[in-house]
Amino acid sequence: MESRNFHRLLFLFIGVAVVLVVTWVHIPYAPPPNATDLLDCTTNSPWCTSKNRFQSKQPAATLKYPPKPKHHHVSDTPHHPLDPLTVQELNKVRTILSSHPLFKSSPSYALHSVVLQEPDKNLVLKWNKGDPLLPRQAFVIARVKGISHLLTVDIDTREVTVHETWSASGYPTMTIEDMTSSVWAPLANPAFNRSILSRGVDLKDLACLPISLGWYGKNEEGRRLIKIQCYSSKDTANFYMRPIEGLTVLLDMDTKEVVEISDKGRKIPIPKATNTDYRYSSQTHNQQKLKLINPISIEQPEGPSFSVEDDHLVKWANWEFHVKPDPRAGVIISRAKVRDPDSGEMRNVMYKGFTSELFVPYMDPTDAWYFKTYMDAGEYGFGFQAMPLDPLNDCPRNAYYMDGVFAAGDGTPYVRSNMICVFESYAGDIGWRHSESPITGLEIIEVRPKVTLVVRMVASVANYDYIVDWEFQTDGLIRIKVGLSGILMVKGTPYENMNQMQGQENLYGTLLSENIIGVIHDHYITFYLDLDVDGPDNSFVKVNIQRQETSPGESPRRSYLKATRNVAKTEKDAQIKLKLYDPSEFHVINPTQKTRVGNPVGYKVVPGGTAASLLRHDDPPQKRGAFTNNQIWVTPYNQSEQWAGGLFVYQNQGEDTLAVWSDRDRPIENKDIVMWYTLGFHHVPCQEDFPVMPTVSSSFDLKPVNFFESNPILGIPPNVEKDLPVCKPAASS
């Protein structure tokens, strides 16, 4: 290399190192001498976002329902046994750990997870508001000198009460520091820098992503590894559309050493920046700034119908439930109860529901792509990736926002503002109706509107945005919806047009634009659903809908459908693949609670559109993602069985998945059981997905089935004119 370039490179390297030290890498391995209550957001912006940035510009006094006062959380105290650890509690944990032998003796360590250790379920079930709070404990996953440790910390007694080391495969969820320091580490490697420069990319335009490598054999075992792939961010914010194709760096995440650089893409051009930017400020052509719709808003002149008590307890219409952010699951809904219209009592529906794991395999077996088989909750932390929601666009104007309080890699608490929103939605839909037809001539028309409550979070896992909604209806139905938006992961190619393709070549996806292939991939999102229908002891019933043939002479009909109820006795009875031509309903019932006329009370899971994984079961990613081998599973409640891919997912070998647990074939009849449902998408990209994709959604429902004696919303009133607001454009007022 020329002397000038070498000096330039050296300077750049030093500069990057300085930047690394000052900005991007907050050394996670020793607590700062004077530990502050809260991470200083001005110097630690990557994981810290100030609520100020997205505050409504309108003065609070003129807003109908002003946003709650600035809330720094430093004085928060827990009110409910399931409330997440507060700032003060996280700081206590940090202090307790710093004096624990394991950490005291180590110059460096990282806390990969510091969350509430939820109390035993039977204690939580017995607890009522006003009772003393149950003992507060933290569950900590730490890595010290290359070993993963699990600790339980009793916050009240200030003791570490449990300490185990992890001996099976896999590593904990990456810390934010892991991810941000990994993307910069290759810059310390001259061979890497040469590769970048040889592709025509300036180091200042480099944007790199940390890509979980899965598990693909022995040579990847024994150390914590990550793969880095890079993009050019020149002339666009959408660097994802400008991959430096084929260049993969294998990095040791702990030593930050480059283990291997593979470059198979030297002949592949970097796609151009033209038309890739999605920022509104960058839409230069007049026609690109489309004003298609007049302003439209959901208005509630008397304010919303819901309240949030003690920061986490939501009460709306006939529902009540606890909501909390979680660094791994994103949103956790707990203690969901619905009011019985006859007795007036709140009845148990779901003890706990959350996103347990994702599985997102890409369908390209070549060198730079085969390993892209993400498990976003266990590897990256679905909640860690949840960015602040944009008021008025992510959620409508009447939304309430909830912040997340998480621990950084050294245990320092930080606030993820506006992480979850709660709002009432009215799409103009119908709750129930009946009008009499001309046949009877009765002049009856009875119609009721449908208003729902949505709890929303969005996880932006690098390129993809996952919108997760828990939507509650007054008829007792819960709809869980996943929306996909954001940016595709694309592959560079020499091709600029399909007519350049030779014969049967496999692109592994769709040519989206010149030199850009959208690679085919699947998304699976597996939900943990601990339904407790009128109490914890439930059964799982398959109501199989089958053709019944009539006997000769029995009827002019040759066939009809019959519903046969089969109670699942053990786990293997509840490993369900959905079949259009062998359909069933899937009920979780309370076998000891019956309606007045004798039907067991229950809730059923109603699938919407979905997809199933077709990979070979012995394919390494499918072993790790084996929880997608079936669409529905049921297991006996077990506090250690929460994460469908296993507790330690990163680089694990799939020995501790939901599929492994379920094959133990344990009894699940009239016991506390947990249902698991996987929502799937096959995604063959299309040009409309470029450069950012319009939201595509799918959902499934939890619907009461003989839970109520009759329609629980028979008596709700219709909308009437006098209740509607009088509105004027803001400009005219």
User: Please, which residue, 153 or 649, has the CB nearer to a copy of itself?
Assistant: 649
Q: Cα–Cα distance between 43 and 46 in angstroms, integer? A: 9
- Residue 291 Cβ, how far from a copy of itself at the closest point, in Å? 6
Q: Candidates 573, 606, 653, 672: give the one binding a copy of itself (CB under 8 A).
A: 606
C-alpha to C-alpha distances, 161 to 119, 150, 527, 613, nearest whole angstrom: 14, 11, 30, 41
Q: Cα–Cα distance between 90 and 440 in angstroms, integer? A: 67
- Residue 724: partners with Cβ closer than 8 Å, 6 or more residues away: 301
* Residue range at the interface with a copy of itself (CB under 8 A); choices 51-59, 134-142, 160-168, 632-640: 51-59
Cβ neighbour number for residue 561 with a 10 Å cutoff: 9
275 counts as binding a copy of itself under rule CB under 8 A = yes
Q: Cα–Cα distance between 534 and 603 in angstroms, integer? A: 10
What is the 3 state secondary structure string of 517-528? EEECEEEEEEEE
- Residue 596 Cβ, how far from a copy of itself at the closest point, in Å? 8
299 counts as binding a copy of itself under rule CB under 8 A = yes
Cβ neighbour number for residue 234 with a 10 Å cutoff: 17
506 counts as binding a copy of itself under rule CB under 8 A = yes
* Residue range at the interface with a copy of itself (CB under 8 A); choices 39-47, 264-272, 321-329, 534-542: 39-47
- Residue 131 Cβ, how far from a copy of itself at the closest point, in Å? 28
Side-chain-facing half-sphere of 537: CA atoms under 13 Å: 7
User: Please, which residue, 1 or 545, has the CB nearer to a copy of itself?
Assistant: 545
Burial of 618 (C-beta count, 10 Å sphere; 0-12/13-18/19+): exposed
User: Please, which residue, 96 or 454, has the CB nearer to a copy of itself?
Assistant: 454
- Residue 372 Cβ, how far from a copy of itself at the closest point, in Å? 10
Q: Cα–Cα distance between 403 and 388 in angstroms, integer? A: 8
- Confirm if 719 and 667 have CB atoms less than 8 A apart: no
**The residue to which tokens 């460096």 are assigned:** 108
User: Please, which residue, 671 or 682, has the CB nearer to a copy of itself?
Assistant: 682
3-class secondary structure, 722: helix
- Residue 195 Cβ, how far from a copy of itself at the closest point, in Å? 20
476 counts as binding a copy of itself under rule CB under 8 A = yes
At residue 11, φ and ψ (nearest 5 deg) are -60, -45
* Residue range at the interface with a copy of itself (CB under 8 A); choices 26-34, 80-88, 530-538, 718-726: 718-726
Burial of 74 (C-beta count, 10 Å sphere; 0-12/13-18/19+): middle
Q: Which among 326, 376, 469, 522 is annotated as catalytic? A: 376
- Residue 246 Cβ, how far from a copy of itself at the closest point, in Å? 15
Q: Which of 319, 405, 314, 332 is nearest to 118 (CA)?
A: 332
Q: What does the per-residue mask of binding to a copy of itself show for 230-269, with x meaning CB under 8 A?
A: -------x--------------------------------
Q: Candidates 33, 107, 217, 553: give the one binding a copy of itself (CB under 8 A).
A: 217
67 counts as binding a copy of itself under rule CB under 8 A = no
Identify whether 341 is preceded by a cis peptide bond (ω within 30 of 0). Answer: no
- Residue 332 Cβ, how far from a copy of itself at the closest point, in Å? 20
- Residue 247 Cβ, how far from a copy of itself at the closest point, in Å? 18
- Residue 435: partners with Cβ closer than 8 Å, 6 or more residues away: 444, 445, 446, 447
Q: What does the per-residue mask of binding to a copy of itself show for 88-127, with x meaning CB under 8 A?
A: ----------------------------------------
User: Please, which residue, 222 or 561, has the CB nearer to a copy of itself?
Assistant: 561
- Give catalytic status of residue 376 as yes or no: yes
Q: Candidates 326, 403, 410, 522: give the one binding a copy of itself (CB under 8 A).
A: 522
- Give catalytic status of residue 29 as yes or no: no
59 counts as binding a copy of itself under rule CB under 8 A = no
377 counts as binding a copy of itself under rule CB under 8 A = no
* Residue range at the interface with a copy of itself (CB under 8 A); choices 35-43, 198-206, 271-279, 348-356: 271-279
66 counts as binding a copy of itself under rule CB under 8 A = no
User: Please, which residue, 7 or 558, has the CB nearer to a copy of itself?
Assistant: 558
567 counts as binding a copy of itself under rule CB under 8 A = no
Binding to a copy of itself, residues 432-451 (CB under 8 A): 432-451
Binding to a copy of itself, residues 315-344 (CB under 8 A): 317-318, 341-342, 344
Residue count (the chain):
733
- Residue 193: partners with Cβ closer than 8 Å, 6 or more residues away: 9, 13, 187, 203
Radius of gyration of the chain (CA): 27
Q: Cα–Cα distance between 173 and 635 in angstroms, integer? A: 24
Please give the DSSP secondary-structure letter assigned to residue 222. Answer: S
- Residue 412 Cβ, how far from a copy of itself at the closest point, in Å? 15
- Residue 355 Cβ, how far from a copy of itself at the closest point, in Å? 16
Q: What does the per-residue mask of binding to a copy of itself show for 610-649, with x meaning CB under 8 A?
A: xxx-xxx-xxxxx--------x------------------
Structure tokens at 402: 């909830």
Q: Candidates 283, 592, 638, 639: give the one binding a copy of itself (CB under 8 A).
A: 283
- Residue 68 Cβ, how far from a copy of itself at the closest point, in Å? 17
- Residue 340 Cβ, how far from a copy of itself at the closest point, in Å? 10
* Residue range at the interface with a copy of itself (CB under 8 A); choices 86-94, 262-270, 292-300, 330-338: 292-300
* Residue range at the interface with a copy of itself (CB under 8 A); choices 151-159, 244-252, 384-392, 532-540: 384-392
At residue 279, φ and ψ (nearest 5 deg) are -70, 140
226 counts as binding a copy of itself under rule CB under 8 A = no
Q: Candidates 302, 345, 503, 505: give the one binding a copy of itself (CB under 8 A).
A: 302
Q: What does the per-residue mask of binding to a copy of itself show for 160-199, with x meaning CB under 8 A?
A: ----------------x--xx--x----------------
Binding to a copy of itself, residues 686-715 (CB under 8 A): 686-695, 698, 704-715
User: Please, which residue, 99 or 274, has the CB nearer to a copy of itself?
Assistant: 274
Q: Cα–Cα distance between 333 and 337 in angstroms, integer? A: 11
Q: What does the per-residue mask of binding to a copy of itself show for 524-553, with x meaning CB under 8 A?
A: -------------------x-xxx-xx---
592 counts as binding a copy of itself under rule CB under 8 A = no
Q: Which residues pair with 249 in a beta bridge?
A: 228, 261
Q: Cα–Cα distance between 241 and 463 in angstroms, integer? A: 10
H or E, element range at 15: helix 3-19
User: Please, which residue, 70 or 289, has the CB nearer to a copy of itself?
Assistant: 289
C-alpha to C-alpha distances, 641 to 46, 152, 325, 597, 635, nearest whole angstrom: 32, 17, 19, 37, 9
Q: Which among 171, 464, 524, 528 is annotated as catalytic? A: 464
Q: Cα–Cα distance between 627 and 525 in angstroms, integer? A: 10
Number of residues that bind a copy of itself (CB under 8 A): 217
42-49: long-range pairs with CB below 8 Å, 24+: 44/408, 44/414, 46/176, 46/180, 47/176, 47/384, 47/406, 47/408, 47/414, 47/416, 48/414, 48/415, 49/387, 49/388, 49/415, 49/416, 49/417
User: Please, which residue, 151 or 247, has the CB nearer to a copy of itself?
Assistant: 247
Q: Cα–Cα distance between 486 and 635 in angstroms, integer? A: 34
- List active site positions: 376, 464
